Amino acid sequence: MLKTTDNDLQWVSNTLQKVEKKMHIVANRNKNKIPYTTTLDGKFDDWTNKNIAWWTNGFWGGIMWQLYNLTNEPIYKENAEVLEKKLDRNLMLADKLDHDNGFKWGPTALANYSLTGNQESANRAMLAACNLASRFNLNGKYIRAWNDDSTNRSGLAIVDCLMNLPLLYWATKESGDPRFSQIATAHAFTAQKYLVRSNGSVKHIIEFNPNTGEYLKSHGGQGLGHGSSWTRGQAWALYGFALSYHHTKEEQFLSTAKQVAHYFISNIPENNLIPIDFSASSDQPMWQDDSASAIAACGLLKIAKLTGDPEESEIFISAALKLLHALTEQSCNFAIDTDNLLMRCSAAYHESNHEYPIIYGDYFYLEALLTLSNQALFLW
């Protein structure tokens, strides 16, 4: 249980009430959708036919399961079940399964299974886990990130993948077969060795020779450029390493999670809103990324829970609260005629679109608030 003041708890409870009031209306308005962002009228778009394999397609399900767990309102469960069944189309497209299986079937099938015991959901999660495990490169000891586009991408691994490992840890618990967890742990060690810089910042993409397993180089990926610190990547790392520690009890993962967390905390700007990259000089445009902030808040709270020392834990809780206050008071939309919560997420530095609602931002914002109030369904 997290140690928070009565004032903090009251603030979280008031914020959650506003969120739930809005999301009840939003859930009823978006019964058959798989949202990614909003359209011009402020209502959710739908990726059911646009791209059933998109990596973010599980997060609306995650929001629904968290709210169902909180309220027992049937609408949330119904929406989540509809979405989970729609994702079966992706399970049948082998070339469109990738390392993001964890993001797609964790907040959907696994959440369903853990709340209801539904066996079909367990089957979906196990198929997704088997496919994820099959992406492991034996010589390089990494999980391959993406499938080929016009180039061969079998040598690429990315920081985001740390968040997909819990699906493998679950598969070992569920099946009794240690191979899934062995693969996840080996990948986490590789990520620790090659992704994390000595100052606690992390790279986005690393490249290996897929035949020999030799480490070749890193790429800037979704951040500003090579050598920069893409903030969502920092957030995936601090949360992801904490989760690997949670599942394996390997102390090294917790110290790395803390190292990245301290780097993140020391770079939080004065207004407590997170830019898309920490490495920009002032002459470069720097857009806000609320999703990095929300994910980091979840990770910081997880690290606080895993840390035995109350004083140390307090550092991470207070940083998470700072981020959540800033999001709630400066970048959250509680109006009921629009569907999103967070307003200024940015998917990648070099994309043309920035500072718009993105569904995973809302998922992690909700998860962080629920974690602080000890009401979160733990999905990782």
**What are the residue numbers of the active site?**
100, 160
At 250 the three-state DSSP class reads coil
Q: Does 230 bind ligand GLY (CB under 6 A)?
A: no
Strands 136-137 and 142-143: antiparallel
Between 163 and 286, whose beta carbon lies closer to ligand GLY?
163
The residue with its CB nearest to ligand GLY is 160
Q: How far is CA 286 from CA 112, 280, 320, in A?
A: 38, 7, 22
**CA neighbor of 261 nearest in space, from 330, 317, 211, 324:** 317
Strand partners, 275: 288
Residues found in the chain: 380
Q: Does 232 bind ligand GLY (CB under 6 A)?
A: yes
With beta carbons less than 8 A apart as the criterion, state whether 133 and 183 touch.
yes
Between 104 and 232, whose beta carbon lies closer to ligand GLY?
232
Q: Does 349 bind ligand GLY (CB under 6 A)?
A: no
Between 121 and 222, whose beta carbon lies closer to ligand GLY?
222
Q: Could you give the CA distance from residue 109 to residue 102 in angstroms, rounded to a whole number?
A: 10
Between 36 and 113, whose beta carbon lies closer to ligand GLY?
36
8, 84, 160, 339: which one binds ligand GLY (CB under 6 A): 160
Quick one: CA dihedral 91, 139, 209, 193, positive or negative? positive
Q: One symbol per residue from 42 to 71: x for binding ligand GLY (CB under 6 A), - otherwise; what is it?
A: -------------x----------------
User: Residue 36 Cβ, how far from ligand GLY at the closest point, in Å?
Assistant: 11
Q: Does 222 bind ligand GLY (CB under 6 A)?
A: yes
With beta carbons less than 8 A apart as the criterion, state whether 204 and 350 touch.
no
Q: Could you give the CA distance from residue 52 to residue 33 in angstroms, rounded to a whole number?
A: 11
Between 2 and 110, whose beta carbon lies closer to ligand GLY?
110
Between 210 and 223, whose beta carbon lies closer to ligand GLY?
223
In a 10 Å sphere around its CB, with 0-12 CB exposed, 13-18 middle and 19+ buried, how is residue 305 labelled?
Answer: middle
User: Residue 261 Cβ, how far from ligand GLY at the closest point, in Å?
Assistant: 18
Q: Does 2 bind ligand GLY (CB under 6 A)?
A: no
Q: Does 347 bind ligand GLY (CB under 6 A)?
A: yes
User: Residue 122 Cβ, how far from ligand GLY at the closest point, in Å?
Assistant: 25
What's 273's DSSP letter?
P
Q: Could you give the CA distance from residue 132 to residue 167 in angstroms, rounded to a whole number?
A: 9
User: Residue 267 Cβ, how far from ligand GLY at the closest point, in Å?
Assistant: 18
Q: Could you give the CA distance from residue 348 to residue 278 in angstroms, rounded to a whole number?
A: 13
Q: Does 290 bind ligand GLY (CB under 6 A)?
A: no
Q: How far is CA 291 from CA 68, 113, 203, 241, in A?
A: 22, 26, 18, 18
User: Residue 232 Cβ, how far from ligand GLY at the closest point, in Å?
Assistant: 5
How many residues of this chain interact with ligand GLY, rule: CB under 6 A?
5
Contacts with ligand GLY by CB under 6 A lie at 55, 160, 222, 232, 347
